[in-house]
Structure 1
Amino acid sequence: MNNSDFDSYLTKVGLTSKPALTEEGLKALHNAQHRRIPFENFDIALGKSISLSDEDLINKLIHKERGGYCFELNGLLLKTLKATGFDTRALLGRVHLAGEPTGRSHQVSVVNLDEQLWIVDAGFGSHTPRSPLPLVTDKELSTDIQTFRFIETEQFGYMLQVKLPDDNEGLIWQSLYSLDMTNVYDADKSYGNFYVSNHPKSLFVTSRIAAFPIENGIVTIFNNTMKKVVNGITEEMVLEENESYLETLRTQFGIKLEASFSDLKPLVTD
């Protein structure tokens, strides 16, 4: 990332200067991007390929009113972390939300700061950590409205879990993704990115998805359902299959598609 692109990034996310190489600076950088650039997969819904080139990431996520998913959002964040001066590299994780683990299809960054490792993730949809998380095990880690923990497993390495309410009005630990800390190369990212954006059983191919954090909550879209959760209270509405759908993307998520509603691929139905 050159100086001009770095300055454009800071302007995009609302920062007036380069963050300090401290815990506070790391959190400020993550917070700025996470609260400004939404999670979304609408290029796939428009039948477009997902490019991870520097030029395309910067054009889409900085210069346009668009978002992306993990390979894009965390790809851009990794470049910015490096340009800021943080000691960082990419990791790929297996997603465990459905129980059966996926391949290594989720990209995050690990930052080494004062001999403490931090997992930095701005691209995991509705369960995106709202702050960088120190990589320590068996300890509750809180953001403003979330509680996480890492546990260490023999089979998968470090497992990130989030505390969620269950059907019996109790709380459970839901496994999100696992990290084995192995080196990641551009080819690994290309493999994962191609699978999740092209495989007919990939959630990103079969569904329309968006998530955007707000004060004390989050707004999400899954196909035709929009949910707004604030202070644990959920409001839900069904979106119509017309141009008003795109207006909702613009007003609620800051996503401006250069397309008409009819350009979106039809939703996959059983």
Structure 2
Amino acid sequence: MEQSQIREYFSRIGLSQPSDTTIESLKAIHQHQHRSIPFENFDVIQGLPIQLSAEALHEKLVVNQRGGYCQELNGLLLNVLSHLGFEARSLLGRVHLAGDPTGRSHRVTMVTIDDKQWLVDAGFGTFTPRAPLLLETGLEQSNDLQTFRFIEDELYGLLLQIKQGGEWMKVYSLDMTHVCANDLESSNFFTSNSPKSIFTSNCIAALPIEDGMVTLLNQTIKVTKNGVTEEWSLEDKASYFAALQTYFGLTLNVPFSLIKKYF
């Protein structure tokens, strides 16, 4: 990345560029990106290619003020962290939210600071960890709203779980193996093109807020704050695009007839 792009990135997320590579700086960068650049798939539902080059990610997410899904959000974050001097690399995980796990399709970033490894994820929608997680098994780790832990799984490696209503729910697993550029391209192609992918059959958006989260699934928007959820349906073009702008900062040039197919 060029230094001018780094300046544009930090302007986009509303943070002054840190001068060090400490865990405090990592947490600040992650939190500001997570709360500024939404998780969304509106290019996927239009059949547009999802490009992973550094230039394409910067143009879409920073210059054009769009969001994206894990490959894009965590790709951008990795590019920035690497430019700043963090020891960081991509990992691919299997999602365990719905019965059988998926293939290795969820992109995250691992950052090593003072010989400790951290999971950094800015692109998993509702269940995105709101702060970096230490990659250590059996340790309950809480942020402002969530509690996570990693456990060892015989088949899948490190399994991330989130505590929901006093019970542990599987989120995704990481086998920690090397990830090359073609692994990312293959995963990205499946996620953005396969009829089995959740992203090709739904309109999705999510953005964390102070003490809560805003999510969109097709025509249903939910705003959760301090444990209280308001939910309503967006049935017409005006209300739909107004909600995208108000809650996710998105201004889209997408035919409403295309979006309405998913209602």
Q: TM-score normalised to the size of structure 1?
A: 0.94
**Alignment correspondent of 1:259:** 254
Secondary structure of 2:253's aligned partner: coil
Cα-to-partner distance string for 1:168-206 (whole Å, 9 max, x where unaligned):
xxx211111000000001100011101011001210000
Compute the displacement of 1:48 (Å).
1.3
1:132 aligns with 2:132: yes
1:221 aligns with 2:183: no
Match of 2:198, as an amino acid? L
Cα-to-partner distance string for 1:241-263 (whole Å, 9 max, x where unaligned):
42321111111111111233234
Question: 2: CA distance between counterparts of 1:19 and 1:66?
Answer: 27
Secondary structure of 1:228's aligned partner: strand
Question: 1: CA distance between counterparts of 2:17 and 2:47?
Answer: 37
How many percent identity over aligned positions? 52
Secondary structure of 2:93's aligned partner: strand
1:181 aligns with 2:148: no
Question: 2: CA distance between counterparts of 1:239 and 1:39?
Answer: 19
**Alignment correspondent of 1:233:** 228
Unaligned 5+ runs, structure 1: 166-170
Question: 2: CA distance between counterparts of 1:91 and 1:67?
Answer: 21
Secondary structure of 2:207's aligned partner: strand
Cα-to-partner distance string for 1:213-239 (whole Å, 9 max, x where unaligned):
001000000111111111111111011
**Alignment correspondent of 1:11:** 11
Question: 2: CA distance between counterparts of 1:96 and 1:250?
Answer: 31
Compute the displacement of 1:65 (Å).
2.2
1:249 aligns with 2:244: yes
Size of the aligned set, in residue pairs, is 263
How large is the RMSD of aligned CA atoms in angstroms? 1.2
Question: 2: CA distance between counterparts of 1:19 and 1:143?
Answer: 24
**Alignment correspondent of 1:74:** 74
1:39 aligns with 2:39: yes
Match of 1:208, as an amino acid? C
Secondary structure of 2:250's aligned partner: coil
Aligned 8 A contact 2:74 2:108 in 1:
yes
Compute the displacement of 1:139 (Å).
1.3
Question: 2: CA distance between counterparts of 1:241 and 1:159?
Answer: 41
1:26 aligns with 2:35: no
**Alignment correspondent of 1:65:** 65
Compute the displacement of 1:161 (Å).
0.5
Aligned 8 A contact 1:145 1:217 in 2:
yes
Secondary structure of 1:100's aligned partner: coil
Question: 2: CA distance between counterparts of 1:51 and 1:195?
Answer: 13
Cα-to-partner distance string for 1:144-187 (whole Å, 9 max, x where unaligned):
1100000011110000000012xxxxx21111100000000110
Unaligned 5+ runs, structure 2: none
Aligned 8 A contact 1:144 1:216 in 2:
yes
Question: 1: CA distance between counterparts of 2:123 and 2:183?
Answer: 17
Compute the displacement of 1:46 (Å).
2.0
Question: 1: CA distance between counterparts of 2:94 and 2:208?
Answer: 23
Secondary structure of 1:129's aligned partner: coil
Point out 4+ residue stretches in structure 1 off by more than 6 angstroms.
none
Aligned 8 A contact 1:19 1:29 in 2:
no
Aligned 8 A contact 2:10 2:16 in 1:
yes
Match of 1:206, as an amino acid? S
Match of 2:129, as an amino acid? P
